[in-house]
A and B are shown apart, each in its own frame.
Chain A
Amino acid sequence: MSATHELSSAAMGTVVSIQVVGGAQRAIAARIRGALEWFPRVEAACSRFRDDSELRALCRHVGEPVRVSPLLFEVLAFALAVAESSDGAFDPTVGAHMEHRGFTSAWHPGARVHSGIAPDECASWRDVQLSADNQTVLLARPLLLDLGAVAKGMAVDLAARDLHDLEHYAVYAGGDMYLSGRNVDGETWRVGIRHPVQHDELVHTVHVSDRAVCTSGNYEKRTTTGAEHLVNTHAQPHTAALASVTVMAPTAMVADALATAAFVLGEQRGLAFLQEQDVDAIVVTHDLRVLVTDAVRHSMRPAREHVA
């Protein structure tokens, strides 16, 4: 293994890149292109920022069941499951609130869109009813869905699944990633966890293989007004707030959703939630303490990173 092939693309408002270690160059390039293709597809289904997305089309129908694609249905179903598990800390119906606060563009470059849906204080994930039998979604009241966290994770997972037989590869999308096998040096992949304040620094380096790594924190996206893009509409703000949450899980969708939920839940409840969901995590608290789960602790290389 002496070579890697890497292709980047723009999707979901960020840079997506896939690296494959080893293999014949031309064949691999084709495979990478194929895997990258999942990103625009997920975006077409799940973007809040595109007028023409399936999600936005769904949001134009209130009080009636709408048949949706398996892609949108599954992402939505998972988002609702996370919402339930986190007591609504993670809530895919915060879209209108986000928009109200100035997050009118993120995925589709430059396309500033407004859904025309006013933020409804009462709207919550409970207003979204799914019928698995009919593959339909019913919105009980006007609301704007936001599947940002889970949808990007799903896209990473689909791309990774696409490359499954290649063994050693990395799918990277704006800080969310899935790392399979080993890197070009034949070692486990080394992932630096960015410091939430000192952006040039890493709080940790973890060594992972066959794992997704996703970080949630308010330093990722900022509007011109400086509003935070992770919104908890149901809880008091800044209760034992966290600076960032990094979750390692078998899939990026899970990692991203759980990181987002834990971030919103705050230190106490967030940690309990992560423990409950049995995932490895690196949490940076508001006062910049770094907390890691045992498994993460063990995965860290001794000397340098691990300060006992």
Chain B
Amino acid sequence: MSDPLRRPDTPDQPVKSPARSPRTPAPARIPGSLLVLGAAAVLTVYGAGFERTRLAAQQFADESAAGRRPLPPSGVSEAAATEVSPAAPMAEPAMTEPDAAVASNTSAGAAERSTDVTPSAAAVAPAPISAPASASAASSGAEQATSEPAPSTAVVTKPAAAQSKTNAEAPVAAKPTSTATAKSTASDATTPAAAIAVATTPVADTAVASSTVADSAAAAATAPPAPVWKDGTYTGWGTSRHGDIQVTLVITSGRIESADISRCETRYSCSWINHLQPQVVKRQSADVDYVSGATQSANAFYYAVLEALGKAK
């Protein structure tokens, strides 16, 4: 706003009934019609779930499939995948959830989940790790842990995926997992699972295969941008008027794999920004639960990421 802003003197006035536009209302101007339209759109997309939204994920699949080419072609090993499952922390609790009654949730058992876990994790980490041994991934364990397979697992809880169960296409949707939440500290237990999942990488084929479903939209997604940053884990600090935020950035195959807040020293930390790990938090005194219009700390986050990226060049 370039208009000069004065101090508030009248804090509260009711909205006056505004004059209607003199124009004849278009059909779309039925009062509240956008409310209905919006809700319908959300339900449509949600209902489409993974199965039909995969086009969006398609290009990512193609991309990562290309990135995995250096890997020795290994057959899809469900056995290996199943082994991964118990180590994946999410599989167990997810099954204990009272989800069965909910149409939107999967009834997928451990087997389905596990087969999904492996491909997703592999897809998440398109790094050309040529040694398929799980041990080799240990060094990068911290990085992989940040992109633990849990979110991908959760993705298959979409209704469409539930219908197609072990559908080989499922992993593709799990693609955009790049911003997995969990902090490395919290995911110590998941590290091995993630590492193993990455190393086994049995899904390259399925990912490629499902890309044949690609329509023109996917075909249009040509020329993936060249990686810019060096692989590794970097930190950066961002400052806002509310305090400082440290971000830990993980770069894999030249792309930002995850960017998570590793330290948060803002005043609002307790109310809206900080809880990075699965944990039970005690409520702390705050006047509000959330603030709308607040992006100060988000900006701090942004600049922290920029700083971290600077180190990755």
Chain A interface residues toward B at CB < 8 A: 3-11, 13-17, 19, 24-37, 39-41, 43-45, 51-52, 54, 57-58, 60-61, 66-72, 74-75, 77-78, 81-82, 84-85, 108-111, 113, 154, 157-158, 161-162, 164-165, 170, 172, 174-177, 179, 183-185, 189-197, 199-200, 202-203, 205, 213-215, 217-221, 228, 238, 241, 243-244, 246, 249-251, 253-254, 257-258, 268-269, 271-272, 274-279, 281, 283, 286-294, 297, 306-308
Contact = CB atoms under 8 A, between A and B. Distances in A.
B290 A41 contact: no
A75 B17 CA distance: 31
Given A54-B221, A190-B289, A205-B288, A154 B93 contact: no
B246 to A, nearest CB: 13
A32 B294 CA distance: 22
Contact of B221 (A24, A57, A200): A57
Given A3-B280, A44-B56, A44-B57, A36 B151 contact: yes
A279 to B, nearest CB: 7
B87 interface: no
A26 B278 contact: yes
A203 B291 CA distance: 11
A8 B181 contact: yes
A254 B41 CA distance: 10
A199 B292 contact: no
Given A9-B180, A24-B93, A84-B26, A58 B220 contact: yes
6 contacts: A60-B220, A61-B216, A108-B256, A174-B298, A196-B1, A286-B5
A41 B220 contact: no
Contacts of A205: 287-288
- Looking at A9, A157, A174, the one whose CB has the most chain B CB atoms below 10 A away is A9
Contact of B14 (A7, A221, A251, A294): A294
Closest 4 CB pairs of A and B: A34-B154, A29-B278, A215-B293, A26-B93
A196 B182 CA distance: 33
Given A15-B301, A183-B289, A39 B52 contact: no
Given A75-B41, A243-B1, A272-B19, A30 B150 contact: yes
A86 B287 CA distance: 35
Interface stretch (B28-36, B76-84, B192-200): B28-36
Contacts of A185: 283
A33 B260 CA distance: 14
User: Which range holds the interface residue count of chain B?
Assistant: 35 or more
Interface string B1-29: 11101111111111111111100001011
Interface in B34-87: 34-35, 37-39, 41-46, 48, 52-57, 59-60, 63
B259 A4 contact: no
Given A8-B261, A162-B104, A199-B296, A218 B287 contact: no
A286 B299 CA distance: 23
B177 interface: yes
- Looking at B38, B94, B157, the one whose CB has the most chain A CB atoms below 10 A away is B38
A54 B17 contact: no
B44 A74 contact: yes
- Looking at A8, A66, A213, A214, the one whose CB has the most chain B CB atoms below 10 A away is A8
B179 A40 contact: yes
A9 B275 CA distance: 9
A57 to B, nearest CB: 4
Given A30-B150, A215-B293, A251-B35, 17 more contacts: A5-B279, A8-B260, A9-B181, A34-B154, A37-B151, A54-B59, A75-B45, A78-B37, A157-B42, A165-B99, A172-B272, A177-B290, A189-B289, A191-B290, A220-B293, A257-B34, A272-B21
Contacts of A27: 93-94, 96-97
A40 B290 contact: no
B276 interface: yes
Contacts of B18: 268, 271-272, 275
